[in-house]
Amino acid sequence: MKTIGLLGGMSWESTVPYYTTLNRLVAERLGGLHSAKVLLSSVDFAPLEALMRAGDWGEIGRLLAHEAIVLEEAGAGVLVLCTNTMHKVAETLEAAVRIPLLHIADVTGTAVRAAGLTRVGLLGTRFTMEEDFYAARLARLGIDVLTPPADARALVDRVIFQELCRGQLLASSRSAYTEVMQELVARGAEGIVLACTEIGLLLGDAPFPVPLFDTAVLHARAAADVALA
């Protein structure tokens, strides 16, 4: 079994389900008392969030690359960056280590295509929705991306940082997200990519007319596959 290097804490609320999902899947596949071999570097999110707002992605890349190196030197065989937004600096991390980075957008895109879909709505932080580092990765797999209008993007982003990253799961925000998703479906989205690892915590298992792709769950499953390959 390969050792999985989790680079988390962004936010820690969604890093916990990564750990839980990995261990559950390994136990299901190997049986008995088996669990995943995991190394975790959990960063302090507040300084990184301030750098995000300041647009200093170079410093973010430097800080996260350092953590990736620590995980590699500790024995990780694959790197899992437990956040969608920070994949904006994925290439910086890949350049810093010799072990592979399991890219969350590639994992998600593969799941979308496996479901037979080619057009999806994208929910995430404003960085993920408004910049092309994520959508372009999906486009390479032949997937068209729809994003909400500006006011809805602001709402989605506000809920992520002011509520979900702080463990607040409000019914009013769940309802607001559902309306945003319904608008995307009305515009032609065949599925919705939850491109922020906390969104699945808010929506839970509530039924929706089109498939929802919980990137945190998909990412953790893919990491388990790599570890057990």
Q: What is the mean pLDDT of each run of 10 residues along the chain (229 residues)?
A: 97 96 96 97 97 97 98 98 98 98 98 98 98 96 98 98 97 98 98 97 94 98 97
State the pTM of this model: 0.95
What's the alpha-carbon Rg for the chain, to the nearest Å?
17
pLDDT at residue 51, rounded to an integer: 98
CA distance 208 to 212: 8
Domains of the chain as residue ranges with CATH = 4-103+218-228 (3.40.50.1860), 104-214 (3.40.50.1860)
Would you please indicate which residues are annotated as catalytic (active-site) residues? 83, 196
pLDDT at residue 185, rounded to an integer: 98
List, in sequence order, every residue forming a beta bridge with 119; answer none if it has no partner. 144
How distant, in Å, are the alpha carbons of 38, 125, 127, 128, 213 from that of 157?
30, 5, 9, 10, 18
